[in-house]
Amino acid sequence: MHDLTANSFWQFSLRFYGQENIEKTCITLQEQYGFNVNILLLCRFLEEFSLTLNSEQVGSLMQSISESETSLRAFRLRRKQAKGTKKYEVLLQQELEIEKVQQSALIRHVSDLDLTCSLFPNVASYATYKAIDLNKVTALVPLLNALSRYDLATFIYNSNDKI
């Protein structure tokens, strides 16, 4: 049985995000390539259970959080503008609470998906959803590889399968 609860996902995210270079990698993917950090973390969380997302399921997850993502981006901008002020830490804690709510929504939606068990890099499905050809945008491969349990290079260069 898989422990796919909002709390287990949140606790996993705190531990994983706190590992060396993971925060920096996630923020780079968010700011430079438009990835959603919570979905990146969900991709890795599901890999812990050998559960695989396809690109259509990633799209469904994105749709399920579209409203909260718009609000979160606006909140994030306000927090960044407050950097160096007394309000910054309060806004940061509030942003984390919003992130936690978004993660709960993602876990609720995942429970409705027909996930398969395999050793497949979920971040590759996310890149496919975003119409990014990892064979051409090779700078993304080491960033996404840092977030996956599996070697993307092996999959990308040796697979003809549609993601």
Q: What is the pLDDT of residues 56-71, one digit of tens each?
A: 999 999 999 999 999 8
Sole residue written with tokens 């398969």: 116
Give the pLDDT of residue 162.
43
Q: Residues near 125 by Cβ (< 8 Å), separated by ≥ 6? A: 43, 52, 53, 54, 55, 57, 58, 163
Q: Please list, in sequence order, all residues whose beta carbon lies within 8 angstroms of the beta carbon of residue 96, skipping any fewer than 6 positions away.
A: none
Q: Residue 160: its pLDDT value, please?
A: 42
Q: Cα–Cα distance between 138 and 105 in angstroms, integer?
A: 32
Position 138 confidence tier, pLDDT thresholds 50, 70, 90: confident
Give CA torsion, residues 23, 139, 106, 74, to 10 deg.
70
pLDDT higher than 80, residue 106 = yes
Burial class of residue 39 in the structure, from the number of CB atoms within 10 Å of its CB (0-12 exposed, 13-18 middle, 19+ buried)? buried
pLDDT score of 161 more than 50: no
**Angstrom distance (rounded) from CA 146 to CA 162:** 22
In whole angstroms, give the CA distance from residue 4 to residue 19.
Answer: 21
User: pTM of the prediction?
Assistant: 0.90
| Helix (H) or strand (E) run with residue 52 in it | strand 51-52
Among the ranges given (32-36, 97-101, 113-117, 156-160), the one the predictor scored with the smallest mean pLDDT: 156-160
Model pLDDT, residue 44: 97
